[in-house]
Amino acid sequence: MRFILCILMFLPLLAWGQANQSTGDELRKLAWQAGPSEGQIAAKAAISVPDGYMFLDAPNTRRFLELAGNPPRDGHYLFAPANLKWFAVFSFNPSGYVKDDEKIDADALLKSMKESDGSGNEERKRLGMDAIFTDGWAVPPHYDTQSKRLEWGVRLTTARGESNANYTSRLLGRSGVMSAVLVADLNTLSADTQEFKTALQKFNFVSGEKYSEFKEGDKIAQYGLAALILGGAAAVATKKGFWAVIGGFLAAFWKVLAAAVVAAFVGLGKLFSRKKE
């Protein structure tokens, strides 16, 4: 009981204001799946969730994205470190088998991406959300023929001047493409990208869905690698103050929780030592 009361006493101290407290409370209510465990993605793939990381299923990811200032999206799954210094959003497109023999023109793709900002921002405006603009490549697109992974990073700026980066991986499968979008602060993009790519080493399509398991007669997508970049998942934004909320409020919550657990074990240790005496 003392352990529970300890947490309840500390939680109010973690709020910085009514708005931040509300967002933090909503984030904490989500059904976080902690590691070590395995996250199931759209019945097509799975990713190992190590100790110190978390995973959200589709309904909870939809709510998370709304709290971050994005349009509601179904069929998305979230993977992140427990301190939420970055997060990655997975989604599967059953487009069919994508042939990977196309050459990529990075300059032409960037020009097309900037030109397409308008249509996406019309939808965001309709939903009362800030516009997002493509600034340039954070990481130019490149394709790994061994892992069947297409990757690129884009620098983004909102109408309010807030910046972040989306680093996207397209993982090619037998019946479609898995999208994995990393959302991170520009200042920590390099380190976060490396951590994200390490996590992706534990991503695998389930048996029967691997790119190498293609068979004659399977559905073939009517586009190549370039279209995966231009027609990829919508950019993921973070609304003003969101990084502060998840980086401070939730990180502090996890630290307090961990400290309370340690304190509980110390208390149990003292209790057992007294019993032995």
Residue 160 located in a structural domain? yes
Residue 89 located in a structural domain? yes
Residue 19 located in a structural domain? yes
User: Which tokens go with 155?
Assistant: 């620098």
CB atoms within 10 A of CB 54: 21
Residue 123 located in a structural domain? yes
Note the pLDDT tens digit of each residue in 104-144: 999 999 998 888 888 778 877 887 888 888 899 999 999 99
Which residues form the domain of 175? 2-261
Contact 72, 62 (CB under 8 A): yes
Amino acid at 13: L
pTM: 0.73
Note the pLDDT tens digit of each residue in 156-176: 888 888 887 888 899 999 999
Do you find a cis peptide bond into 36, omega within 30 degrees of 0? yes
Residue 21 located in a structural domain? yes
Residue 266 located in a structural domain? no
Among the listed residues 106, 110, 70, the one whose alpha carbon sits nearest the alpha carbon of residue 87: 70
Residue 103 located in a structural domain? yes
Work out the average pLDDT over 19-38. Answer: 85
Q: How many domains does the chain have?
A: 1
Residue 204 located in a structural domain? yes
C-alpha separations of 49 from 38, 62, 168, 243, 245 in Å: 5, 19, 19, 22, 23
Give strand ranges (E) for the chain. Answer: 33-34, 37-41, 45-49, 53-56, 76-81, 87-93, 132-144, 149-158, 163-172, 177-184, 203-205
Q: Which residue has the tokens 């300890």?
A: 6
